[in-house]
Structure 1
Amino acid sequence: MAETEYSLPRATFDKPVKLLIVVAPFYRDIADNLIAGARAEIEASGATCELVEVPGALEIPTAITIAERMSNFDGYVALGCVIRGETTHYDTVCNDSSRGITLLGLQGLCIGNGILTVENRDQAEVRADPSRMNKGAGAAAAALHLVALTRKWGGQRKGVGFMPAAEEYKLAGELKDNPKA
């Protein structure tokens, strides 16, 4: 029996959505295909996007963190490609970039992870190609669905995920000063 994949219907919005695509273009042709797929999905949903390039997949979570702190994006699309080589560097890059993105997601950021982790170039080309597996579009769709959930449930609230120590102490001080808070 052949496997079938299910995709959720495209997310819809009543207010504009702005995404940031963060791409590590180490393999330029693969990155360009991922970007094309992501942009097409974003535009089809009526959203807009900006693009920023970073040196490698390990820098993607850091760039997203900086953008979240200093800009006004609703969500993020992480794109890149890591192809297995002869050393354990592949494992480090795959695991740490994924872990960084996951931790940001657990803090409430809406991120679609489109960092390909593959054994060879052929696998990467098939996954990046918009006319084939189109993983760039899949990552954009994931980010858009998370933005839709965030809006459905009333937007991001303080204290989602890990609370930085400074906020924790501030909150404790406010409770001490106002016990009814």
Structure 2
Amino acid sequence: MATSQKNLSVIEGSAIPSAADMRFGIVVSEWNSEITNALSKGAYETLMKYGALKENIVKVSVPGTFELTLGAQLMAENGDVDAVICLGCVIQGETPHFTFICQGVSNGITTLNMEYNMPIIFGVLTTNTMEQAQDRAGGKHGNKGDEAAVTAIKMVSLQQNLEEFAQV
């Protein structure tokens, strides 16, 4: 969980498996592109760091964070991927728009996980200010894109291991 003291790029928990035999989709919002491009770069570099092959990573863009869910659904249906990483950034404004977008995309991504039995990763920053977003997109709190990529690797590995176990 991200806090004001936590660096998102310091990965805790179990060892990170090799991503060499995994295929990933990355869906990136064009809205707040300064932030989302940094998240995308972090996710891509982290996947490569853990052995993913360049040809096994496909990236697409969608206009905004709300559109991440349809982008992820299309990727799950047509992308021949093991996981989809959704990257976006919503910054609190003066209207309830922030709440509607955040609720819609979080509910949508949760639903896609269940419907497609595939890891669809929530890599969306929901911050109060641009500065908070910058701090979490390669700034003093690391990069949420790194965290999203590691989550994707771990969840694909979990799914593969459980499928192998079920066949024994």
How would you bin the TM-score normalised by the shorter chain?
0.7 to 0.9
Alignment partner, residue 31 of structure 2: 26
Residues matched between the structures, number: 155
Q: 1:63 to 1:44 in 2, by over 3 A?
A: same
Extract unaligned runs of 5+ from structure 1. Answer: 158-181
Counterpart-to-counterpart distance in 2, 1:65 and 1:119 = 28
Answer yes or no: is 1:87 the counterpart of 2:92.
Answer: no
Whether the aligned pair in 2 keeps the contact of 1:10 and 1:45 (CA below 8 Å) is: no
Alignment partner, residue 47 of structure 2: 42
How is 1:64-75 mapped onto 2 (pairs within 5 angstroms)?
64-75=72-83
Match among 138, 142, 150 for residue 141 of structure 1: 150
Deviations 1:139-176 (A, max 9, x none): 11111111000100117x9xxxxxxxxxxxxxxxxxxx
Structure with greater Cα Rg: 1
Question: What fraction of aligned residue pairs are identical, expressed as a percent?
Answer: 30
Q: Which structure carries more relative contact order (alpha carbon 8 Å, separation 6+)?
A: 2
Deviations 1:40-62 (A, max 9, x none): 11001111411100011111111
- Letter paired with 2:107: R
CA RMSD of aligned residues (A): 2.3
Deviations 1:59-80 (A, max 9, x none): 1111111121122001011101
Q: Compute the TM-score of the two structures, normalised by the length of structure 2.
A: 0.83
Q: 1:61 to 1:34 in 2, by over 3 A?
A: same
- Letter paired with 2:162: W
Query: SS at the partner of 2:125?
Result: strand
Counterpart-to-counterpart distance in 2, 1:6 and 1:13 = 15
Query: SS at the partner of 1:8?
Result: coil
Match among 124, 145, 153 for residue 162 of structure 2: 153
Counterpart-to-counterpart distance in 2, 1:151 and 1:65 = 21
Extract unaligned runs of 5+ from structure 2. Answer: none
